[in-house]
Amino acid sequence: MSKVEDEQPNIEVRQTSLSNALFGRNGAQFLGLEVRYAKPQTVGRFLRAKQRFRAGLDAEDRLVKASLSKNALGRALNSDSTIRTTQCIGCRPAPHRPFSRPAMKNLVDLLAPAHGEAIVLMPLTRVLAEGRTCVGRLTIFPPGDLQLNPDDATVIPRKDLASIQSQLTGFSFELFEEFAAVGFCTQLSIENLQQHDHDADITLLSQLAGLSERSFDLLRLNFCRLDLPDTLPGPVGVWDISTSFVGAVIYFPDEGAWCEIAGAAAAYTSIVSGIGLDLDGCSTDLPPSELDGEVGAIAAHALSLLSDAMHARNDTTKFVRCMTLLEFLGSPDEYRQWKKLKGEIACHLARDKENYLSMLDELRLFTSFENENNEQMGYRTLVVHHGKFIEDILPTRPQRQILFRKLQTYCHAVIDDMIDHASMAWEDFVEFRMQKKKRLGIL
């Protein structure tokens, strides 16, 4: 056994009651793990140390001693009296390399590209994965899953300066042993890629990340929360938030050729708190798009606005973005005053007329509302027109969490109906709303 593996662990991780610690869909954020760091180590040592405690251990009552990365946290679950570990995405897993790696052409079996399509692989951080996960047309591979041998394929010759600039970012095929990978297929041309300069590479990377983000928008709708940014996955293509670089491996199966491209990312906001999204059970359908119909295009843009709100730098910005989203959902084709929009939102969620009127009162408080002394109390008016911060209006974090949960409930109800009726023209969706109001006894 190596000296590294013989070394005694120097970090104590105290496991509390998992049954009490798990919270919601993404309980990985509240595992009740108390960590005292001595010095940063690799998650690989953490995983190996956990394996020494496999037989007969109680995951709720025992102290587990292990070494782990300062930037990552594993999770232990009690299953059949055996400790089961999940890999911490964004850190190196326990090494496991076959004697011979499969060929690059095996990607064709994994992702099934159409004739003429290229396969794109981009790194992903802040997700917990035990196996492959399908998100729309994307496939997310756990770290180390793509132990492919690039030597069996031809490296695409590119302009020297563009190639050097990509290499300087530190991006390489080997990163997929350490990070999760997002794989998908798209139409690309080798000839165009060979003529790219570095600016063209950055433009292409932005387009590729945008293609994948559409599926992640739907993932965020279903599995992430406005009041809990700790569960958000990292930006697609980014492997180190401190450098702000984006990278991709592009493989052309018809030609048996591949290349790596990387460069500075476009502006983005990355969450650093928490350990990200647990992908267990997070598969989703295809996201809505303009190909579905007019309402599908509106739903796709709404999902993008919701993702922007989730990534807001502070709660005031998040609140303003949420109100902008609700305004868009109420009337995407023209500006309308909020007093005329509230009913367009509430009808998607209300159970009956009384519930509908109660929601109108709540939305009035969120927008513009004067008390008996003619003092403005509406959150949006105070923030947008009076220069207040939402932190001043709702000073405690639990108050703001309740607000964001309510706002997400309204957004979710409207977007869900739009996705279900994505093929409709907007005029038909307006009629759909009218029918909802009639059933509630409003009209």
What backbone torsions phi and psi does residue 57 show, to the nearest 5 degrees? -95, 145
Q: What is the pLDDT of residue 53?
A: 34
Rounded distance, CA 410 to CA 220, Å? 15
Cα of 145 vs its chain's centroid, Å: 20
CB-based contacts of 115, cutoff 8 Å, min separation 6: 254
User: Is residue 233 exposed (0-12), middle (13-18) or buried (19+ Cβ within 10 Å)?
Assistant: buried
Residue 343 pLDDT greater than 50, yes or no: yes
Indicate if the pLDDT at residue 38 is higher than 70: no
User: Beta 138-141 vs 277-278: how paired, if at all?
Assistant: unpaired
Task: Over range 227-237, report the average pLDDT.
Answer: 90
Cα–Cα distance measured from residue 1 to residue 16, given in angstroms and rounded to the nearest whole number: 32
In this prediction, residue 231 has a pLDDT band, given cuts at 50, 70 and 90, of confident
Domain extents in the chain: 7-86, 106-278, 294-440
On the question of pLDDT at 11 being above 50, the answer is no
What are the residues whose beta carbons fall under 8 Å from the beta carbon of 402, sequence distance 6 or more? 227
Amino acid 51: pLDDT: 38
- State the pairing for strand pair 12-15/63-65: antiparallel
What pLDDT shows up at residue 425?
Answer: 97
Tell me if 278 sits within 8 A of 128, measured CB to CB. yes
Q: Mind listing the pLDDT tens digit for each residue in 287-327?
A: 999 999 999 999 999 999 999 999 999 999 999 999 999 99
pLDDT tens digit string along 66-116? 333 333 333 333 333 333 333 333 444 434 443 345 677 788 888 999 998
Tokens of 108: 């064709």
What share of residues in the chain are helix, strand, coil (percent, to 5)?
Answer: 40, 20, 40
pLDDT tier for residue 55 given thresholds of 50, 70 and 90: very low
CA distance 76 to 57: 11
* Residues whose CB is less than 8 angstroms from the CB of residue 185 and which lie 6 or more positions away in sequence, other chains included: 111, 112, 113, 114, 117, 118, 119, 120, 137
Q: Which residue type sits at 85?
A: T
Q: Which pLDDT score, from 0 to 100, does residue 230 have?
A: 87
- Which of 38-42, 64-68, 76-80, 231-235 has the highest mean predicted lDDT (pLDDT)? 231-235
Instruction: At 6, give phi and psi (nearest 5°).
Output: -80, -20
Q: How sure is the predictor about 43, in pLDDT bands with cuts at 50, 70 and 90?
A: very low
If one counts every other C-beta atom within 10 angstroms of the C-beta of residue 339, the result is 12
In this predicted structure, what is the pLDDT of residue 135?
Answer: 86
Q: Which residue has the higher pLDDT, 181 or 281?
A: 181
Cβ–Cβ contacts within 10 Å for residue 50, how many? 21
Quote the tokens at residue 420. Answer: 């279900």
pLDDT value at residue 150? 78
* Cβ(367)–Cβ(338) below 8 Å: yes
Pairing, β 245-252 against β 117-124? antiparallel
Kindly state the average pLDDT of the residues 178-184: 93
CB 136 within 8 A of CB 183: no
Helices assigned H by DSSP within 236-367: 294-310, 315-330, 338-346, 353-366
- pLDDT (tens digit per residue) in 415-424: 999 999 999 9
257 compared with 29, residue with greater pLDDT: 257
* Residue 270's pLDDT band (cuts 50, 70, 90): low
CA distance 186 to 119: 7
Q: How confident is the model at residue 20 (pLDDT cuts 50, 70, 90)?
A: very low
Over residues 29-45, the mean pLDDT reads: 33
How far apart, in Å, are the Cα atoms of 389 and each of 164, 228, 249, 438?
Answer: 46, 19, 43, 38
